[in-house]
C-alpha cells in the first residue's frame, strides 16, 4: 500500500484539476500553464482517446508536474498508466477487481466512494485516502461532516460539482485533504489555447489553502 505517497500528493495543493484532453497537442501547454500558476498535481482523465498520450507527453515534457490518471476503471487501465509512469491513479468508484489490481500496482490509487458502506469497504482494504464522487450530488459538505464522526480514519478529495466558493467550505472540513475541480481547465480556454487564463485560474487556488480560506 502506498498511502504515504497519496498523502503527499494530496497535500501538495488545495485543488487537483480534473483534466479532459480532447487533443493531445494541448497536453503540454496546458500542463505548463497550470504549473506556472502553482498547480503541480494534475489528474488527466481517460475519458477521451487522447488521455494516455496526454499523460505520456506531460510526464516527458513538463518538469515539476505530478501527473496522474483519472477515470481509471479497470486493472488493465491501471497497468497502462503504470507503464507510462503515472504518479497516481483515481477511480470514480471501486470494484473488487480494481482493488485487487491496485494491491500489486506501483501506482497509488485514490479509490472513489459515494456511501458510508463504500468508505468502510476501502478502509478494510487499507486505504485511508479516497475520493468522494460525485461530491455535490451525493450530499456534499453535509455528507462529509456526517461521515467524520463514525469514520474518522477516512480522508477525502471530494470531486464533482465543486466551484471556488464551494471549495472553501469543503476545505474547512478536517476530513478533506483537497478538492478536485474542472473549473481550472475550462474547455473553451483549452480549445482556444488561452493558457494565460488557465495560469490565472491556477494561481487563484493559493487563496483556497487551509487557513487562507478562513
Residues marked active site are found at 43, 131
Q: Are 9 and 34 in contact (CB under 8 A)?
A: no
* 112, three cell numbers: 472513489
Give the residue among 172, 200, 179, 165 at the shortest CA–CA distance from 37.
200
Per the DSSP assignment, residues forming a β-bridge with 67 are: 42
Q: Pick from 115, 200, 208, 132: which is nearest to 169 by CA? A: 208
Residue 41 pairs in a beta bridge with: 66
Nearest to 58 by CA among 76, 81, 91: 81
3-class secondary structure, 73: coil
* CA gap 114, 142 in Å, rounded: 13
The candidate with the shortest Cα–Cα distance to 118, out of 130, 107, 102, is 130
Amino acid at each position: 500500500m502506498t498511502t504515504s505517497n497519496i498523502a503527499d500528493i494530496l497535500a501538495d495543493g488545495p485543488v487537483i484539476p480534473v483534466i479532459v484532453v480532447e487533443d493531445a497537442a494541448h497536453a503540454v501547454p496546458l500542463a505548463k500553464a497550470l504549473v506556472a500558476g502553482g498547480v503541480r498535481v494534475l489528474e488527466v482523465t481517460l475519458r477521451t482517446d487522447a488521455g494516455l498520450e496526454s499523460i505520456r507527453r506531460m510526464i516527458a515534457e513538463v518538469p515539476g508536474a505530478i501527473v496522474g490518471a483519472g477515470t481509471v476503471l479497470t486493472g488493465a487501465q491501471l497497468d497502462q498508466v503504470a507503464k507510462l509512469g503515472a504518479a497516481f491513479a483515481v477511480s470514480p468508484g471501486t470494484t473488487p477487481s480494481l482493488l485487487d489490481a491496485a494491491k500489486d500496482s506501483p501506482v497509488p490509487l485514490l479509490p472513489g466512494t459515494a456511501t458510508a458502506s463504500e468508505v468502510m469497504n476501502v478502509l478494510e482494504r487499507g486505504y485511508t485516502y479516497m475520493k468522494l464522487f460525485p461530491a455535490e450530488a451525493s450530499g456534499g459538505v453535509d455528507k462529509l461532516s456526517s461521515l467524520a464522526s463514525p469514520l474518522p480514519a477516512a480522508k477525502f478529495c471530494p470531486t464533482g460539482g465543486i466551484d471556488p466558493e464551494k471549495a472553501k467550505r469543503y476545505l474547512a472540513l478536517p476530513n478533506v485533504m483537497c478538492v478536485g475541480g474542472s473549473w481550472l481547465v475550462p474547455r473553451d480556454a483549452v480549445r482556444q489555447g488561452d493558457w494565460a487564463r488557465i495560469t490565472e485560474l491556477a494561481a487563484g487556488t493559493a487563496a483556497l489553502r487551509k487557513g487562507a480560506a478562513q
